[in-house]
Amino acid sequence: MHLCINVTLTANIIDNTLSIHRYVKTVNMQKLQLSKQNEKHALLLDHRQLINKAYGSAVPNSETYELKSQLFQFQPKTSQQPPQNQRKRKRKCKLSETAKNAAVDNINEYLELLPEAKVDAVRTLPRYWEDEYGLPQLHGSNTTGKFQTFQTPASTFIIPHAACFYNHNVDQLRALLPQLRPSYDLIVIDPPWRNKYIRRLKRVKQELGYTMMDNDQLAMLPLGQLTHERTLVAIWCTNSNLHQQALETQLLPRWQLRLLHKLRWYKLNTAHQLISDLNEEDASQKQPYEVLYLACHVQSNGAYATDLTQTELLLSVPSIVHSHKPPLLDWMRQYLQLERDQVEPNCLELFARYLQPQFTSIGLEVLKLMDDRLYDKK
């Protein structure tokens, strides 16, 4: 099946204030700095507003859609321990974390800089994302200058302007190469790493868990055929040492990529606390962070995008939907070097579960989180 919403081509140029090697503060992305004498910093991302901004900016003179706020109500967990035990446990954890993480990324110091959070009680949203997906292989794009919808008997999916998608198995990416650009400026990859959590989900309900891939399968992806010398590649990884070692020693060399930076994305609850305790002594245990790798082509200039390393870590309140990662373009745009007459970057996301303007998105569940029941129409 082929879906094409390419009704009319519009010259819808967006005025972007970000420029190379310049940081611009926005309400969607807040810079946290421990010292004015040190350029090192953390970024507090507003996941929901970053997506809403991208959707709204793409259609400035038309109606838009915004993600429902209930998707980001990651409430603090209530402990059943007596108050005295809670205080002792917190003090012990604090000392352990400070000692073990100060040299890693100063997480505890950055937590002290977080703005005060307002925790509101909201109605629970039905878990629409757990409904059976079941779309066939299809392709769509939207260059109409406004949102479009794609309807099936069971669901309605919204398609942002300037988005292109393939509901397609990334394992068969090579077959799509003739339909894709020769190369992209930014590539985002969220590999379906093998993990216990997904295996447990699939035992309960098969459609809740995505299809996992092993490292040999990932190594076969033709990433080297989709990059140029100025491409930046962002790869999400779990906190598994085995996955990180495979990425650094096997996958990056196979994809002809050079590691630029490795940092943690810390997950916060709505009270701006880590969603769980850090466990540095046993990395196999559940952690309140995932790891983001930033890489470039092996033949890129040695000084290319080195300013990325000034960002020590990312923080955000995550979506309550599993594997719904925050968008990265607003942050990484300032480091991309585009052609002289190029207004917008050409971006690619693999294993995507939602759409973004300026992106070609590919995945077996590429429209999963574009269900109109997850959005408010504005």
Whether 86 has a pLDDT exceeding 50, the answer reads: no
Are 46 and 29 within 8 A, CB to CB? yes
Residue with tokens 């880590």: 274
Whether 19 has a pLDDT exceeding 80, the answer reads: no
Are 292 and 265 within 8 A, CB to CB? yes
Whether 90 has a pLDDT exceeding 80, the answer reads: no
**DSSP element (H, E) containing 41:** strand 41-45
205: left (phi over 0), alpha (psi -120 to 50) or beta: beta
> How far, in Å, CA of 377 to CA of 128, rounded?
17
Q: What is the mean pLDDT of the chain?
A: 84
Strand, coil or helix: 81: coil
pLDDT digits (tens, 9 = 90+) for 132-187: 998 999 999 999 999 999 999 999 999 999 999 999 999 999 999 999 999 999 99
Q: Which residue has the higher pLDDT, 14 or 274?
A: 274
> How far, in Å, CA of 293 to CA of 188, rounded?
10
* DSSP secondary structure string for all residues of 335-374: G----TT--S--EEEES-SS--TTEEEEETTTTGGGBGGG
CA atoms within a 13 Å half-sphere pointing along the CA-CB vector of 26 = 17
Give strand pairing partners of 261: 294
Whether 375 has a pLDDT exceeding 90, the answer reads: yes
Whether 125 has a pLDDT exceeding 50, the answer reads: yes
Whole-number pLDDT of residue 348: 98
Whole-number pLDDT of residue 353: 96
125 DSSP assignment = P
pLDDT digits (tens, 9 = 90+) for 331-372: 999 999 999 999 999 999 999 999 999 999 999 999 999 999
Whether 203 has a pLDDT exceeding 80, the answer reads: no
How many Cβ atoms sit within 10 Å of the Cβ of residue 151?
9
> How far, in Å, CA of 240 to CA of 286, rounded?
10
**Identity of the amino acid at 130:** E
Are 189 and 236 within 8 A, CB to CB? yes
Whether 5 has a pLDDT exceeding 70, the answer reads: no
Reported pTM? 0.85
> How far, in Å, CA of 273 to CA of 116, rounded?
10
